[in-house]
Amino acid sequence: MPANEYEQVRLKNLEDNRRILAEIGLINPYKSLPKVSFKKGIRGNKRKAEDSTSSRPVKKHVELDPENSGSLRGSRRRSARVKGKEVQTETELKEEVDQWINENDAPAKVAPNRPNFYGAVPGVEVGTVWATRMECCRDGIHRPTVAGIHAGQDGSFSIALSGGYEDNIDLGDCFTYTGEGGRDLKGTANKPKNLRTAPQSKDQTLTRGNLALSRNVETGNPVRVIRGYKLQQFSQFAPEDGYRYDGLYTVEKYWSTTGQSGFLVWKFALRRCTDQPPPPWTFEGDGQSLTEEIKSDSGFDSDETASQISSSQSSSQSDATTTQDEIQKKKKSEKPEAPDKEETENKIAEETLECKSDQTEKLNEIEAA
């Protein structure tokens, strides 16, 4: 897509996103937000956002002793049968390995066959931060370690905002989200494992994760939302590093449009639920979150915006009334005034006497002749 056409599509989508967020949102999407400050993360091992190679924990350096090696515990392993000792059973060996894992702070395994469910995860607070997606998966907030949408039969369970698109808008309490698909995930000879970083090469379809996310509009099931550090280039609400749980959101609307690559994409508008703990950010100046109930039919919850709209409407009505009065006065001034009744009668009487006088004079002239 040419650069100028690309920019036109981006600006059009941004305008559409603002308009839709104005309809469902809690704040004015046309007004710049104040600076955002964040509460301290509840917990989590952070990694630097600029270090994309540190996704895996650094392996511990172990000094090997050639004279005494071969065991998990660092001691030379000898056959128990040679030493005349009783051989360990499989259970005892497993317990020894588990003990070594716990002592070396290895990550816990994900519980198998966990049931999926909508809503908050008990014991995980809003604002919790994880260093990796795997840790987030283990705690059950967003279980896919790569995919951005965790799909279910009655809607999506959770989504991850990591990376993003230039034509999305994030206002914290509400945002737009671009669906999945339309990318060739097999890669190329130069990039055989591009995962979801490949450019879009075909239209997105309303299937799989996109279909699940659209069903949240019908069912009303909330979606758990995490924001990742890769979102920083598109949003001021991204965490400095790691992945942060920002609470529950409802999917208010979905629609299709032409994406920046020229192919069809599916868009979703989400809004933060109010009946939950506040978000992990505040807006500098008042120290309060902008999460509130909608206060006007305009779609904005700003008292200033509402007063401006009311003042504008009152001013328009006042101007209209003044204009109407001026028009009526002008019409009256242009219309000739109706003559007085008594004056009219006197004028008619005078004209009648003059007429009679003329007739009498003519009769006298005739008789004289």
Mean pLDDT lowest for which of 147-156, 263-272, 285-294?
A: 285-294
Measured CA distances, 152 to 111, 149, 175 (Å): 19, 10, 21
Residue bearing the bigger pLDDT, 325 or 189: 189
Query: What is the tally of structural domains in the chain?
Result: 1
Q: Is residue 317 part of a domain?
A: no
CA 212 to chain centroid? 17
| One-letter identity of residue 322 | T
Domain of 166 in residue numbering reads as 3-52+106-289+300-308
Q: Which amino acid is at 319?
A: D
Q: Please indicate, yes or no, if residue 15 is contained in any of the structural domains.
A: yes
Q: What is the C-alpha to C-alpha distance for residues 303 and 284, in angstroms, rounded to an integer?
A: 17
- Per DSSP, the three-state class of 33 is coil
Cβ neighbours, 10 Å, residue 217: 16
Cα 42 to Cα 37: distance, rounded to the nearest angstrom: 15
Question: Rounded to whole angstroms, how far apart are CA atoms 60 and 65?
Answer: 16
Structure tokens at 28: 């004015």
pTM confidence score: 0.62
Residue pLDDT, tens place only, 337-356:
555 556 656 666 666 666 66
- Alpha-carbon span 25 to 33, nearest angstrom: 14
Pairing of strands 36-38, 149-152: unpaired
Does the CA dihedral 284-288-289-292 come out positive or negative? Answer: negative
Per-position DSSP letters for 199-267, written without gaps between them: PB-S---S-HHHHHHHHHHHH---EEEEEEGGGGGT-TTS-SSSEEEEEEEEEEEEEEEE-TTSSEEEE
Look at residue 84 and give its three-state secondary structure: coil
Residue 224: pLDDT over 70: yes
E runs forming strands in the chain: 36-38, 129-130, 149-152, 155-161, 174-178, 223-228, 243-258, 264-272, 281-283
Sign of the four-CA dihedral 4, 5, 10, 11: positive
Q: Any idea which residue has 């395994």 for tokens?
A: 109
Asked if residue 40 is part of any domain, the answer here is yes
Residue 74 lies in a domain: no
Name the token pair of 343.
């004056």
DSSP for 117-147?
A: -SSPPTT--TT-EESSHHHHHHTTSS--SS-
Q: What percent of the chain has pLDDT over 90?
A: 35
Cα dihedral 153, 158, 161, 162, rounded to 10, equals -90
SS3 helix, strand, coil % of the chain, rounded to 5?
30, 15, 50
pLDDT tens for residues 15-32? 999 999 988 876 788 888
On whether residue 44 sits in a domain, the answer given is yes
Whole-number pLDDT of residue 56: 46
Task: Confirm whether 155 is domain-assigned.
Answer: yes
Any domain includes 68: no
Beta bridge partners of residue 146, listed in sequence order: none
Assigned token pair, 241: 């590093």
Point out the least confidently predicted range of 229-233, 262-266, 277-281, 320-324.
Answer: 320-324
DSSP 309: H
What is the model's pLDDT at position 366?
61
- Measured CA to CA, the distance from residue 144 to residue 58 in angstroms comes to 23
- Does residue 320 lie in a domain region? no
Cα 75 to Cα 72: distance, rounded to the nearest angstrom: 8
- Whether 152 and 271 have beta carbons less than 8 Å apart is answered as no
pLDDT of residue 63: 54
CATH of the domain at 236: 2.30.280.10
